[in-house]
Amino acid sequence: MSKIKFLLFFLFVISLSYSQTKHATVMVNARAQKDKILVRWAINSPVEWQKANKKGYIITRSTVLRDGVVLSKPEKTLLTPKPLLPEPLDSWLDLVQKDNNAAIIAQSIYGDSFEVTAAKEGELSKIVNMADEINQRYTFALYAADMSFLAALKAGWGFVDENVKKNEVYAYQVSVFESPKVKESSYMIGLKDYSVLPAPTDFIAIPDDKKVLLSWDYETFKRIYTSYMVEKSSDGINFSPIATTPLVNLNDKDEHPSKTMYYIDTLSVNEKLYHYRLYGITSFGEKGELTKTITATGVSAVVTAARLVDYNIVNSNEVNLEWDYPKESEGFIQGYEINLADNDKGPYKVVSKIIPPSERKLNYKDNLFPSNYFTISVVGKNNQRLTSQSMLVQPVDSIPPAIPTGLEGVIDSLGVVRLKWKPNLEKDLRGYRILKANNPGEEFVDIYHQSYVGNSYQDSVSLKMTNSKVYYRLAAEDMRFNISGLSEILVLDKPDKIPPAAPIFKDYDNKDGKVKLKWIRSYSEDVVGYSLRRREKGQEKWIEIKQINDTIQEYTDDRVENKKIYQYAILAKDKSNLWSSLDHSTITVNVLNFTPAKIIGFLQGLPDRENKKIVFSWDYVKSKSKILGLSIYKNVKGTPPTLWRELNNDVFTLEDKNLKINQEYEYHFVPNLESDTPAKAETLTVIY
């Protein structure tokens, strides 16, 4: 069902409150029945609403769908040949006698005055009072129309269309007669949109002393029902309304929307069973489905508190409690709850399940505090609780806490020590004793001098002292000053501030375009690795070319270029990530490589005796040096070669036709490079 406009009536009037700066609009709603369609509307402006009651409304119906097919040209029908106006006041008399909502509407339309509370005085006040009166007429009229569809029909704010067909869908358009300033609206609906009105959900009853709180889901049904009716029965058969008028929610607002609706039913007596059921009412006066019947009984309030009278300490974690409560009041309560806190002000925690009303003792077994404050709560049948004064229980404790575990720490480069450990679980824990020693055989000293609260601690050590390690232990202390045994010893290495001794190059070799380096390792014991670095002479930045472990003492660098001068540096790193100095760990190498570079990667010569020639083809490998061309030398085997051809770098095939039969020829292919790097010549022998 497509909705062009949707009308929200009185329960949402506040959210639709109209300011004169907004455009007045007719808000339309409709509801399909089995054989007819009900239409309701209202204007969102009190002033224009008052004018419209005198001008009347025009209703046009357009048939837009028939047998599931959209009509290319909607069929329009004027349902109100004359503007729809409120019926004359005399015709309201019978309905007013039966329906208070009809009386409200009649008074809002025809009444000489509409009472305004807190009336103001003065000329300006008269204008304000008139505006207040219009708003009150408007508000109460829309509310009453939501409560009575018959009264809305009589006021000209509703219409019943019985000339409808099941295979058609209509668009109902409502406008104010000769009022172009009031925007018209439409609502699309058909008989196929009929559905049974649902029963409200989450209908529950909460009993109390001579009253029952009823609640149900309001948010889900707020666009379906404008009011509700609760029915009550004492026998579960004969039900009657709980109120003379339907129940409405006046607390629903845009900024704080209501999710649940409540109603309190007052009872004359407790302990009597009552049955309740609920249904919703739409703005068309339709009653929805009934909910399932629920039952409730009033329960007496708790007026007498229990009183803790004695206790007996069994051990440090067990105590027996006793209390008093009038036996004649046991039938009005569910039982008791025991509450515990470590101080009189709390917070208190419930430490027992509900204890039966006839019980007067409890054996409590759990970890007790050094000081325990117990209270007892009487739990009424409506879950109301009445709590006693507290009683102090202090068990004797001679058992020390558990030995602390999980001690760990770290020392930073400034000598700051950060310790942490797993917290003890004793409830009576006072804190920890923190002990320290600078050498293995030295006596541990309490560095905090009292119990430390927490499970992390910050200390400091001197980095100038000769000891390379520092030692820590912990002991836990409870509120009775019982001290646990000492924890395992934590050994921490002090940070190393002295860099390792530098390694030294002892030899190098420059051969075949490679540089082979050899060095003497650092004599520092805490070295964990080396970094070999290189840069071209004249450059500022060193580039690491290899990370080396402590066992390797040589390296061959094959990623160098001919006739370039390189500088090499070798640095040692210790366990503290300190690096050795570069002052005596560098060497300079001039790379000279006279090994010819291989340029021709593919070469072949195929004799073609039929055509009396030799066909040559070749290709070049990828090279850093630019290839300018190719020189080819030729000779008969056993004779000196002579230059035969000079070719550009884009020629890759050649033929030789100057040949003699049964001769063995040698061809020498020499690449010509732009750089002065020597190129390797390739020789090819062909028998023709």
Tokens 């006021």 correspond to: 155
Q: What is the mean pLDDT of residues 402-416?
A: 93
Using CB atoms within 10 Å of the CB of residue 109, give its burial: 0 to 12 exposed, 13 to 18 middle, 19+ buried.
buried
For residue 14, name the pLDDT band (cuts at 50, 70, 90): very low
Please enumerate in sequence order all residues whose Cβ is within 8 A of that of 21, keeping only pairs 6 or more positions apart, or say none. none
Q: Mean pLDDT throughout 78-95?
A: 93
Average pLDDT, the chain: 87
Q: What is the pLDDT of residue 3?
A: 29
What is the rounded distance in angstroms from the CA atom of residue 629 to the CA atom of residue 644? 14
**pLDDT above 90: residue 337:** yes
- CB atoms inside a 10 Å sphere around CB 359: 12
At position 134, the amino acid (one-letter code) is: I
Confidence of residue 427 (pLDDT cuts 50, 70, 90): confident
pLDDT at 599: 87
pLDDT of 581 higher than 50: yes
Q: Say if residues 421 and 487 touch (Cβ distance below 8 Å).
A: yes
- Segment 5-29 shows an average pLDDT of 53
What's the predicted TM-score (pTM) here?
0.49
Q: How many CB atoms lie within 10 A of CB 409?
A: 18
Q: Worst-scoring range by mean pLDDT, 178-187, 484-493, 581-590?
A: 581-590
Give the domains, in start order, of the chain with CATH numbers. 10-193 (no CATH), 204-297 (2.60.40.10), 307-393 (2.60.40.10), 405-493 (2.60.40.10), 504-590 (2.60.40.10), 600-687 (2.60.40.10)
> How far is the C-alpha of 462 from the C-alpha of 529, rounded, in Å?
28
Distance (Å, whole) CA 142 – CA 7: 11
- Average pLDDT in the 378-389 region? 90
At position 666, the amino acid (one-letter code) is: E
Beta bridge partners of 170: 63, 189
pLDDT score recorded for residue 16: 38
More confident site: 130 or 213: 213
Largest Cα span, the chain: 143
Distances (CA, A) of 548 to 571, 572, 587: 10, 9, 18
pLDDT at 624 (0 to 100): 76
Beta strand 456-460 with 361-365 is unpaired
Radius of gyration over alpha carbons of the chain, in Å?
51
453 has a pLDDT exceeding 90:
yes
**Dihedral sign (CA 7, 9, 12, 14):** positive
Beta bridge partners of 315: 318
User: How far is it, in rounded angstroms, from Cα 12 to Cα 253?
Assistant: 8
- Report CA torsion sign: 378, 380, 385, 386: negative
Backbone region of residue 231 per phi and psi (left: phi > 0; alpha: psi in -120 to 50; beta: other values): beta
| pLDDT value at 240 more than 70 | yes
**Cα–Cα distance, 57 to 174 (Å, whole number):** 7
Write down the pLDDT at residue 681. Answer: 87
Q: Give per-residue pLDDT as tens, 368-382.
A: 888 899 999 999 888
Residues in the chain: 688
Q: For the residues 26-44, what does the mean pLDDT come to? A: 93
DSSP per residue over 72-140, as a string?
EEEEEEES-SS-B-PPPGGGGHHHHHH-HHHHHHHHHHH-S----SS---SHHHHHHHHHHHHHHHHHH
Q: Judge whether residue 684 has pLDDT over 60.
A: yes
Average pLDDT over residues 50-76: 94
Report pLDDT for 18. Answer: 40
Nearest to 431, CA basis, from 409, 394, 401: 401
Nearest Cα residue to 391 out of 317, 355, 339, 452: 339
Question: For residue range 96-129, what is the model confidence (pLDDT) as tens digits?
Answer: 998 889 999 999 998 876 654 444 444 433 444 4
The residue type found at 91 is: S
Q: Cα–Cα distance between 672 and 600 in angstroms, integer?
A: 11
pLDDT digit string, tens, across residues 655-683: 999 988 888 999 999 999 887 778 888 89
Asked whether the predicted pLDDT for residue 214 surpasses 90, the reply is yes
